[in-house]
């Protein structure tokens, strides 16, 4: 029987051949970011189509910047991006773990074990290690928190930079913590070139690069009401091909006067509502400025939509289309609203009833600022996890080795071929300590063996690799700690994507869209 007509212009790979190609693509992707893992990891120089350069060792940034066509590679990048959204760290680990799981799975497939059997073994392994992760976790103390955030920044900049970013990020998250949930969107990041990273600072409240529209408006207002407009306070222009033949200048002046009356009527509504501060997405007509000043209303125009949304959340206000459609319950409240000058630039600072914070990130160059912003983004995510959950585990590969040891003992209790899959999973998660050692110029195999032996002899789950000395050490004593949620999400993401790839036994490539990749030379 011939191929169905629908597949006539389609390249197809099936069975073991398809799986081999998919695993090869996953390994190639992992290899591209493998050297960035850990505090001793190296940087990547990224160049876009316009010739702009970016130096970073952030795994997800490298992957999302690269042009990748292979669908399996895209699945891996998607898993890394999900890790970034959920945990803000561990993006490189997710990809490396998934690739190692697939490589170990391939060795089992060559021995005649069916992918479905391996997938079941991987799923049982995931369930076991997630349960075991709870057993080896610790509750972070107040003194540990900053250390944990600094660990997440290891390898990104120098030590004083890491300390500054960790301290500010942690204080910013605590500033917006209301005891129920933490909304990181209440933290605004402002970048300024010039000056070292250590001069970065934290402001209580929202700080926006805006100046009130008139200097004789109140400079500072305490405990007032704010109205946010997704529009402006301007004269309405005439739309369409309408032509007016004005024979008397008094007629034109009458039009203008009527427009001013309409604008004043909107200000009258603000006065009626008791509005102290007005923020508009669009412009505010100069003709109405004096009337706003007369009524002691502090006004800001051309405020971005993102900033208006942040003000809305912080002040518990509703963003409305216009003053005329606004209602009294659309107003928000604030503690202070003031204009300040910083480094020769004007800013509007709002200390809201709802908690909010602004980080002023500094860097000497545009390139440095870009990396500082990414570091702040990561550290804020880690800080949120740390404050919300509070549970931590030891870094330096200690937790992965401990989980692998426990998993091997679990494998011994399992009958059938799934036992081999569980053992393969245990081998796979040990890849983290091997890559950490490798990137530090230390023998990866010896490091792994030494850490396993030390954990076994001391009955301790806290022993990892000291990347400075190359010897096993207690990570708790060294302060090498990370949130439990990062490892948890990395294991979940890596397991999910590896199982998904293992279950693919047929790949169809439309010839008119993309050519099927050449079969790789297998060394597995």
From the candidates 36, 56, 58, 461, which is the catalytic residue?
A: 58
Distance CA 395, CA 153 (A): 12
* Residue at token pair 């690269």: 66
CB-based contact 512:102 (threshold 8 Å): no
**Count of Cβ atoms closer than 10 Å to residue 123 Cβ:** 16
- HSE of 439 in the Cβ direction (CA atoms, 13 Å)? 24
Q: What is the DSSP letter of 231?
A: S
Q: What is the DSSP letter of 350?
A: E
CB-based contact 202:357 (threshold 8 Å): yes
- HSE of 286 in the Cβ direction (CA atoms, 13 Å)? 0
> Which run of H or of E encompasses 420?
helix 418-429
Establish whether 58 is a catalytic residue. Answer: yes
From the candidates 36, 56, 61, 91, which is the catalytic residue?
A: 91
Establish whether 91 is a catalytic residue. Answer: yes
C-alpha closest to that of 497 among 87, 2, 105: 105
From the candidates 56, 61, 92, 495, which is the catalytic residue?
A: 92
* Residue at token pair 């007369």: 294
What radius of gyration, in Å, describes the C-alpha atoms of the chain?
Answer: 29
Establish whether 92 is a catalytic residue. Answer: yes
CB-based contact 40:468 (threshold 8 Å): no
Distance CA 135, CA 129 (A): 10
Instruction: Read off the tokens for 93.
Output: 């680990």
C-alpha closest to that of 372 among 363, 364, 360: 363
* Residue at token pair 């209303």: 297
Distance CA 480, CA 465 (A): 10
Establish whether 346 is a catalytic residue. Answer: no
From the candidates 89, 276, 307, 378, which is the catalytic residue?
A: 378
CB-based contact 348:337 (threshold 8 Å): yes
C-alpha closest to that of 492 among 125, 30, 116, 38: 125
Distance CA 427, CA 260 (A): 76
Instruction: State the catalytic residues.
Output: 58, 91-92, 378
């Amino acid at each position: 029987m011939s191929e169905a007509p629908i597949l006539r212009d389609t390249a197809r790979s099936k069975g073991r051949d398809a799986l081999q190609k998919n695993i090869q693509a996953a390994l190639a992707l992992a290899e591209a970011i493998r050297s960035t893992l850990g505090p001793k990891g190296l940087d990547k120089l990224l160049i876009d189509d316009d010739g702009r350069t970016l130096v970073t060792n952030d795994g997800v940034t490298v992957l999302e910047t690269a042009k990748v066509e292979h669908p399996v590679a895209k699945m891996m990048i998607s898993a890394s991006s999900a890790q970034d959204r959920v945990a803000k760290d561990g993006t490189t680990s997710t990809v490396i773990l998934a690739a190692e799981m697939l490589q170990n799975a391939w060795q089992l497939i060559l021995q005649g074990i069916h992918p479905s059997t391996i997938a079941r073994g991987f799923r049982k392994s995931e369930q076991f290690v997630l349960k075991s992760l709870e057993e080896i976790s610790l509750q972070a103390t107040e003194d540990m928190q900053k250390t944990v955030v600094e660990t997440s920044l290891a390898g990104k900049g120098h030590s004083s930079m890491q300390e500054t970013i960790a301290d500010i990020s942690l204080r910013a998250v605590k500033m917006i913590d209301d005891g129920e949930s933490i909304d990181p969107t209440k933290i605004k990041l402002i970048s300024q070139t010039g000056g070292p990273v250590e001069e970065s600072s934290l402001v209580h409240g929202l700080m926006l690069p805006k100046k009130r529209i008139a200097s004789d408006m109140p400079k500072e207002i305490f405990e007032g009401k704010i109205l946010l407009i997704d529009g402006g306070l301007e004269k309405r222009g005439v739309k369409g091909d309408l032509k007016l033949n004005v024979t008397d200048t008094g007629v034109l002046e009458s039009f203008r006067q009527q427009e001013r009356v309409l604008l004043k009527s909107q200000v009258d509504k603000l006065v009626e509502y008791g509005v102290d501060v007005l923020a508009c997405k669009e412009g505010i007509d100069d003709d109405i400025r004096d009337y706003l000043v007369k009524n002691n209303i502090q006004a800001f125009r051309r405020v971005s939509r993102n900033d208006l949304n942040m003000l809305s959340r912080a002040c518990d206000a509703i963003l409305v289309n216009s003053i005329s459609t606004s209602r009294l319950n659309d107003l928000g409240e604030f503690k202070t609203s003031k204009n300040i000058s910083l480094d020769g630039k004007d800013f509007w600072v709002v200390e809201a009833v709802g908690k909010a914070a602004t980080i002023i990130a500094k860097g000497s160059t545009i390139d440095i600022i870009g990396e500082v912003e990414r570091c702040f983004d990561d550290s804020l995510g880690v800080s949120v996890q740390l404050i919300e959950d509070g549970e931590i585990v030891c870094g330096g590969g200690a937790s992965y080795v401990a989980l692998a040891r426990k998993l091997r003992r679990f494998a011994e209790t399992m009958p059938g071929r799934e036992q081999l899959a569980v053992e393969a999973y245990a081998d796979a998660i040990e890849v983290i300590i091997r890559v950490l050692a490798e990137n530090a110029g230390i023998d990866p195999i010896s490091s792994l063996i030494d850490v396993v032996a030390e954990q076994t002899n001391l009955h301790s789950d806290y022993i990892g690799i000291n990347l400075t000395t190359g010897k096993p050490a207690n990570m708790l004593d060294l302060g090498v700690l990370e949130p439990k949620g990062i490892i948890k999400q990395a294991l979940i993401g890596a397991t999910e994507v590896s199982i998904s790839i293992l279950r693919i036994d047929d790949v169809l490539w439309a010839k008119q869209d993309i050519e099927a990749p050449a079969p790789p030379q297998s060394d597995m």
